[in-house]
C-alpha cells in the first residue's frame, strides 16, 4: 500500500521527496533509476543541500563514497557539546 498516489508525483517538482525515499529505502535498481533520472550532479546537489540532514548515517556514508565527497561535509547543526549524549 502506498502512502502517496504515484500518479500525483512529478519528477521535477518532487525531486527531494523522491530522492529521500529512493536513496534511503530503494533497491539498487531504484537507485540506478534515480541516477539516470537526476544525474550524479543532481543527486550530489540534493545530498549537499538536504540529504545530510534526512538520510541515515549508513546511507550518508555510502553516498559520500559514491559521490566522492569528503566525510567532513558541512552539516546543518553544531556538534554536540556532550559526546556521550548527542540529543
Helix (H, G, I), strand (E, B) or coil at 75: coil
- The count of domains in the chain is 1
By residue range, what is the domain housing residue 58?
Answer: 10-67
Q: Please report whether residue 83 resides in a domain.
A: no
Give every CB contact of residue 78 below 8 A, 6+ residues apart in sequence: none
Q: Please report whether residue 79 resides in a domain.
A: no
Confidence label for 63 from pLDDT (cuts 50, 70 and 90): confident
Element (H, E) at 14: none
**Who has greater pLDDT, 67 or 36?**
36
Q: Please report whether residue 4 resides in a domain.
A: no
Q: Please report whether residue 73 resides in a domain.
A: no
Q: Please report whether residue 84 resides in a domain.
A: no
d(CA 7, CA 54): 24
Please compute the mean of the pLDDT values over residues 39-48 and round it to a whole number.
Answer: 90
Looking up cell 553516498 gives 63
> In this model, does residue 1 exceed pLDDT 50?
no
Amino acid at each position: 500500500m502506498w502512502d502517496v498516489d504515484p500518479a500525483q508525483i512529478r519528477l521535477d517538482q518532487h525531486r527531494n521527496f523522491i530522492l529521500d525515499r529512493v536513496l534511503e529505502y530503494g533497491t539498487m535498481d531504484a537507485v540506478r533509476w534515480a541516477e539516470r533520472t537526476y544525474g550524479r550532479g543532481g543527486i550530489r546537489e540534493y545530498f549537499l543541500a538536504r540529504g545530510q540532514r534526512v538520510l541515515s548515517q549508513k546511507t550518508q556514508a555510502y553516498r559520500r563514497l559514491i559521490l566522492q565527497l569528503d566525510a567532513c561535509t558541512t552539516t546543518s547543526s553544531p556538534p554536540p557539546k556532550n559526546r556521550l549524549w548527542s540529543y
